[in-house]
Amino acid sequence: MSARLLPTDPASIGGHRLLARLGAGGMGVVYLGRTEAGALAAVKVIQAEYADDPDFRARFRREVEAARRVTSPWAVPVTGADPDAAAPWLATAFVPGPSLEEAVTRHGPLPARSVRVLARMLAAALREVHAAGLVHRDVKPANVLLAVDGPRLIDFGIARASDETAITSTDLVVGTPGFLSPEQAEARGSEVGPPSDIFSLGCLLAYAASGRPPFGTGTADALLYRTVHDEPDLAGIEADDDGDDADTGDGDLPTLLRRCLAKDPADRPTAAQFGTALLVEDTIPEGGQLDWLPADVVRAIADSSSEMLALPDIEPTVAETPGDAEQAAPSRRRLLVLASGAAVLMAAGGVAAWAALRDEDDQGSPAPRDHRWAVGVQADLSGAQRTAGEAQERGARLAIEQFNSSKNKPFELALKTVDDGGSADRARTAAKKLIQDTDVLAVLGPTNDEAANAVLGTYDEALLPLLCVSAGGLILTAQQYRSFVHCRPSDAAVALPISIYLMRQKGKLLPGLLQDRTARTYAQESAWINALMLRRLGRPVYPRVIPADTDDVEPVVADMMRAGIGSFIYAGDARGGVRVARALADAGFDGPRLTPQAVIDPAFLKGAGDAAEGWVLTSSFVDPSAVPAAAAFTAAFRKRFGAAPGYYAAEAYDTVNLVVQELVKGTKGGRPPKRQELLGLLRKSRYKGITKEFSFKPADGTFAGWGVFLHQVEGGRFRFLGAAPSEV
């Protein structure tokens, strides 16, 4: 559960001598600390780069205020905090036991009576939360720590006053999918109140009783959809015989869970009702402890306590050389250097811009004249998406070659490419190869979601910047990574303009929405975002779902025609799109037909033939041959590779030029910035490329621009229409 302190960790924070690391995430580190009086605490310290963000600091200050307002024996109390310190921190009482998530994962579901006791105590904690005018918003197994005398609710990071609206804006989903209420899943911010926490508590209790979330597992969008539309899976959860309310059914665990998981917030019990009507028999004997957990979990708590309370020796401070210190903690000043009068080279048409900056105060040794640092490319060059992978590799190579041909460059760059075949297993090996090459300062790739999801954690551990231009699933941003820079909108964001496009059409056309499960996660995300958006715009869809690998789609299309649809949205891949296009043509449907970018594939044009004509498609990429700003790039690409640039070639070219811009900006003494420093530069960067303007959210590296485009099938080809609409 704990790890040794790193050389870069502070020795103390706010009067707490730090003893070990309890965990680390994208925002900061949680340490095991000890006060001068000997009390142990969990000390949460925010990284400096986020502390510099006024919005983030304000959010952290609210977390401290929210946690301090809750006084319950079943909620971890705040013992100290300083949200205004250079490195903001929050200390809470230390609970050495495992989380509920860890206990269930290792030892299986809890007995029904244990779940009932857990329900009563957590409800008591939520009663205090709600009495303080707060809503926790993230009640989940990982946020409940187990102790012999009862559970402890932790993490008030997104708790808010019930009348606050700053974080409840439209379309912002806050919390953990799978443990959210329907009103959270649909981002109905003003409706998220105490009943939302009760729904989440129901999800948590169902997980504790069955070992699985009540709405299954999978991608975020799938979980959100099931939460809103499906009934919870409570199979195998049985009532115990200890309840006093067996006659009425109120004490029956499945009945209690169904009440908590009611779709309508008004149908859920309040936290106070748990202790006054639902679970009154589970009380702690006066002067004693409640024997509420199975023996194996109690042993696990004891083992965990022994491990955590065997405090490590305090290690002596080791003096660092200036070089070591720079490597451990790169200067924040370097991220802000903007040299006026710097030499700027602009390639033809403005396609590649970089600034050669010098710092006269740099004391570092000059770089060897023949040394080459590198940009890596991890791509699918031999698998199903090798066309896109090859296009990206070529776009990146052209950017590097143009940079090296410049006269005033401060150093030369190499391009180092690894082929992962688009598979998760090969992706991990490929990532390790690039990570171990210390000359590689940033990596472009991988090509698809499967490979990207497999290596995000690996690159994160190495703090090697990973820039994705084609992988786009929401799963990539489900967890905050320090090294991830997403250079395109997510798949859901790319599908969103479909709704905007339809709302701009004349007449109130009933949209038909078909989700093809052959495309799995991609189809789910594309369908979910449009169903949500159109409902919010006052035009609910007529939705249908077809099982994976369904060949006969005519009955579904016929049903949608009988429903009177006037427009059609297809969420699926090119193979399924062929069948759907033919079925719509056979039915004589000529209304607007729209689909996101997975259908932009030659196989769709070839298979659908005339039935493909008129289809409108959204994408995260451009056709560079149709973009005036990309004329110089297109000509240079043809000359270098003897062919027109494919999709994603220009995006890769832009991304590498963005990396070059920040490498040169941070150069001192002929040396480019190190990986970690480059990451900070990239997340704060802005770059106007030939495809779009690049900017990112510093907190998580997600794309902050628009970057969505339209294509339409005309004359048997995909014709680029330009930027997709962003407003109704």
**How do residues 27-82 score in pLDDT, each as one tens digit?**
678 888 988 777 788 898 887 767 777 877 887 887 788 778 888 888 888 888 89
For the chain, the average pLDDT equals: 83
Rounded Cα distance between 514 and 584, Å, is 12
Question: In sequence order, which residues have a C-beta less than 8 Å from that of residue 65 and are 6 or more positions away?
Answer: none
Q: Pick from 100, 58, 282: which is nearest to 200 by CA?
A: 100
pLDDT above 70 for 162:
no
pLDDT number for residue 721: 97
- Kindly report which listed range (148-157, 317-326, 518-527) carries the lowest average pLDDT score: 317-326
Greater model confidence, 171 or 52: 52
User: Looking at the domain that runs over 493-619+712-723, which CATH code has it been given?
Assistant: 3.40.50.2300
* pLDDT (average), residues 449-459: 92
**How do residues 529-564 score in pLDDT, each as one tens digit?**
998 889 888 888 999 989 888 889 999 999 999 999
Going 286 to 292 to 296 to 301, the CA torsion angle's sign is negative
3-state SS assignment for residue 371: coil
Q: Pick from 112, 74, 127: which is nearest to 251 by CA?
A: 112
Q: Say yes or no: domain 339-488+629-680 is CATH 3.40.50.2300.
A: yes
Greater model confidence, 378 or 349: 378
* pLDDT (average), residues 15-19: 90
Q: Write the CA distances from 222 to 176, 177, 230, 523, 686, integer angstroms.
A: 13, 9, 11, 10, 33
pLDDT above 70 for 283:
no
Q: Is-contact 618 708, C-beta < 8 A?
A: yes
CATH T-level assignment (fold) for domain 100-308: Transferase(Phosphotransferase); domain 1 (1.10.510)
State the pLDDT confidence band at 355, using cuts at 50, 70 and 90: very low
- Kindly report which listed range (103-117, 122-136, 286-300) carries the lowest average pLDDT score: 286-300
Pairing of strands 593-595, 693-695: unpaired
pLDDT number for residue 176: 79
**How do residues 590-638 score in pLDDT, each as one tens digit?**
999 999 999 999 999 999 999 999 999 999 999 999 999 999 999 999 9
* pLDDT (average), residues 683-698: 95
**So which residues are the catalytic ones?**
138
pLDDT above 50 for 164:
no
Percent of the residues in the chain that have a pLDDT greater than 70, as a whole number: 83
- The residue assigned the tokens 């030029």 is 657
pLDDT number for residue 639: 97
- Kindly report which listed range (41-45, 186-190, 408-412, 513-517) carries the lowest average pLDDT score: 186-190
State the pLDDT confidence band at 305, using cuts at 50, 70 and 90: low
* pLDDT (average), residues 415-437: 95
DSSP string, 490-501: -HHHHHTHHHHH
Question: In sequence order, which residues have a C-beta less than 8 Å from that of residue 552 and are 6 or more positions away?
Answer: none
* pLDDT (average), residues 231-259: 69
Its pTM surpasses 0.85: no
pLDDT number for residue 338: 24
* Residue 728: count of CB within 10 angstroms of its CB: 11
Rounded Cα distance between 667 and 684, Å, is 16
Greater model confidence, 242 or 475: 475
Rounded Cα distance between 698 and 222, Å, is 27
pLDDT number for residue 320: 35
* pLDDT (average), residues 680-701: 94
pLDDT above 70 for 2:
no
Q: Pick from 26, 24, 59: which is nearest to 44 by CA?
A: 24
pLDDT number for residue 699: 82
- Kindly report which listed range (233-242, 358-367, 472-481, 707-716) carries the lowest average pLDDT score: 358-367
Buried b (16+ CB within 10 A) or exposed e, 129-160: bbebebbbbbbbbebbbbbeebbbbbbbbbbb
Rounded Cα distance between 359 and 337, Å, is 9
pLDDT above 70 for 329:
no
* pLDDT (average), residues 374-399: 97
Any idea what the Cα angle at residue 527 is, between residues 525 and 528, rounded to 5°?
Answer: 65
Please tell me which of 292-296, 426-430, 522-526 the model is most confident about, judged by mean pLDDT: 426-430
Torsion of CA 708, 709, 710, 715, to 10 degrees: -140
Percent of the residues in the chain that have a pLDDT greater than 90, as a whole number: 53
pLDDT above 80 for 707:
yes
Q: Specify the DSSP class assigned to residue 143.
A: G
pLDDT above 70 for 525:
yes
pLDDT above 60 for 15:
yes
* pLDDT (average), residues 509-519: 92
pLDDT number for residue 586: 97
What are the residue ranges spanned by the domains of the chain? 12-94, 100-308, 339-488+629-680, 493-619+712-723
* pLDDT (average), residues 318-342: 31
- The residue assigned the tokens 């926490």 is 197
* Residue 373: count of CB within 10 angstroms of its CB: 17
Rounded Cα distance between 314 and 311, Å, is 9
pLDDT number for residue 548: 85
Greater model confidence, 273 or 692: 692
Equal CATH topology for 339-488+629-680 and 493-619+712-723: yes
pLDDT above 60 for 346:
no
pLDDT number for residue 341: 27
Q: Pick from 454, 450, 448, 458: which is nearest to 483 by CA?
A: 458
**How do residues 470-501 score in pLDDT, each as one tens digit?**
999 877 876 678 899 999 999 999 999 999 99
pLDDT number for residue 496: 93
State the pLDDT confidence band at 232, using cuts at 50, 70 and 90: very high
Question: The domain at 12-94 falls in which architecture?
Answer: 2-Layer Sandwich (3.30)
Question: In sequence order, which residues have a C-beta less than 8 Å from that of residue 52 and are 6 or more positions away?
Answer: 332
